[in-house]
Amino acid sequence: MSAWQEKQYHNLFLEAGFGEDEIERRLEEIWHTFFYGKEDERIYYPAGDDMGYLCDTGNDDARTEGMSYGMMICVQMDRKEEFDRIWKWAKTYMWMDRGVNEGYFAWSCGTDGSKNAYGPAPDGEEFFAMALFFASHRWGDGEGIYHYSTQAREILKACLHKGENGRPGQPMWNHDNHQILFVPGSDFTDPSYHLPHFYELFALWADEEDRAFFREAARASREYLAAACHPETGFSAEYAEFDGTPMSRNLRWTESRHDWFYSDAYRTAANIGLDYEWFGIDCGQRAAADRIQDYLFEAGETGDYHTYEVDGRIADSAVLHPVAITATTAQASLASRSPHRLEWVRRFFRLPLREGKRRYYDNCLYFFAFLALSGRYRIW
């Protein structure tokens, strides 16, 4: 039975042999370090009397990815003050009220609020909307930008209906195959953007006219994830074609590769785990959780990871986010049937948060994994 049906969430740390007091203490330590720790530890920075932002410490900017992640963490932790501060910063500086991307959020801003770009990243919008719905249900709607449910529906309306009825811009979902796009107008996707567990809830809480679309998007995304994850390794690419094959075409704005198992792609297994915990629906994507835990088991013992081709060949000896690999692979235990699933949970529990310049991405995924594996990443 799923958490949605039973209103019960698995605490895999308990199953792995850790005590409830130890788990709670560790969760509070993570919160304090992430939000209020030392300069080489924290991610969150208050701004003025009523705002705050999460800094991508590797790039010295604030991104919709991190801002929306911060809001989700806050609503799961019942921290309304920090939630409202982050949301006001995002709405004040990131939201675009004119032009082709009106209704979307600029994906990158300087920490002073100046926009580094005027384009959106769809993973930010879907996390903003989900966190706002949860805030509405957990704390109630306030006024203006704090009428959370209205704000969430407006975001989703833009995501689906840009370009219609004279409205400028392009939507964030492909209306033919129901897949989320890498950016509006693109003809490919990012497997780690596919969040069927969110779409199941959007199908209940979005504007009524959009609910059928999101129901179909949930089904399509689960089937897509089954296709996008390699049949032996469970790895997905960072960017992929609509049939799931790695996207290796040249992009005009970057010379970097995105057809390998790297950075963005680590999130895919974690998403599969949380989706299965929440809704218990398997369209073939669950097997990827087994495969990735088995394939990385020996490397995970020492943390000696690499950058990999999706078929498992080593593409580069360097790895930018090793903590993120352990965290997301452990979160996959919520869906995995691997004999190694609880050992991954133990490894992760013993793993410290990352410190230093590159801590942002690793520790965001670390926080999500700890919430999920402790049964604290919940539907509100």
pLDDT, one tens digit per residue, over 307-337 is 999 999 999 888 999 999 999 999 999 999 9
Average pLDDT over residues 155-166: 95
Check whether 1 has a pLDDT greater than 80. no
In angstroms, the CA 109 to CA 117 distance is 7
Tell me the CA distances in angstroms from 45 to 39, 55, 308, one per residue in order: 10, 7, 34
For the chain, which domains are there? 1-42+229-380 (1.50.10.10)
Are the CB atoms for 341 and 291 separated by under 8 Å? no
Tokens of 349: 């529990």
| Phi-psi category of residue 346: left, alpha or beta, with phi > 0 → left and psi -120 to 50 → alpha | alpha
CA angle at 45 for the pair 43 and 49, rounded to the nearest 5°: 160
Instruction: Please give the pLDDT value at position 180.
Output: 98
DSSP 353: P
Tokens 């308990």 belong to: 14
Cβ atoms within 10 Å of 184's Cβ, excluding its own: 22
Q: Can you read off the two tokens belonging to residue 327?
A: 């965290």
- Given this model, what pLDDT does residue 254 score? 84
Neighbours of 291 (CB within 10 A): 21
Helix (H) or strand (E) holding 172: none
Tell me how far apart the alpha carbons of residues 201 and 197 are, in angstroms, rounded to a whole number: 7
Q: What is the mean pLDDT of residues 273-293?
A: 98
**What pLDDT does residue 100 have?**
96
- Whole-angstrom distance, CA of residue 343 vs CA of residue 330: 8
pLDDT value, residue 316: 87
pLDDT tops 90 at residue 355: yes
Q: Is pLDDT above 80 for 24? A: yes
- Cite the active site residues: 65, 264
Of the pLDDT bands very low, low, confident and very high (cuts 50, 70, 90), residue 85 is very high
pLDDT digits 0-9 by tens, 179-221: 999 999 999 999 999 999 999 999 999 999 999 999 999 999 9
Q: How many CB atoms lie within 10 A of CB 303?
A: 13
Cα 320 to Cα 336: distance, rounded to the nearest angstrom: 25
Q: Are 232 and 311 in contact (CB under 8 A)?
A: yes
Mean pLDDT value across the chain: 97
283 pLDDT exceeds 80?
yes
DSSP string, 177-240: T-PBPSSTT-S-B-GGG--HHHHHHHHHHS-GGGHHHHHHHHHHHHHHHHHHS-TTT----SSB
Would you list the DSSP string of 233-262? T----SSB-TTS-B--S-BTTB-S--SSB-
pLDDT (0 to 100) of residue 230: 98
At 104, phi and psi to the nearest 5?
A: -100, 175
The predicted structure's pLDDT at residue 358: 97
- Report the range of poorest mean pLDDT among 149-153, 166-170, 181-185, 327-331: 166-170
Angle between helices 211-228 and 196-205 (to 10 degrees): 170
Average pLDDT in the 351-379 region?
Answer: 98
- pLDDT band at residue 265, thresholds of 50, 70 and 90? very high
CB 203 within 8 Å of CB 215: yes
The pLDDT of residue 134 is above 90: yes
Tell me which residue has tokens 């959370």.
148
- Predicted TM-score (pTM) of this structure: 0.98
Strand partners, 254: 251
> Is pLDDT above 90 for 253?
no
Q: What share of the chain is helix, strand, coil (3-state, %, to 5)?
A: 50, 10, 40
At 219-232, the pLDDT tens digits run 999 999 999 999 99
What whole-number distance in Å separates Cα of residue 94 and Cα of residue 102? Answer: 11
CB 149 within 8 A of CB 92: no
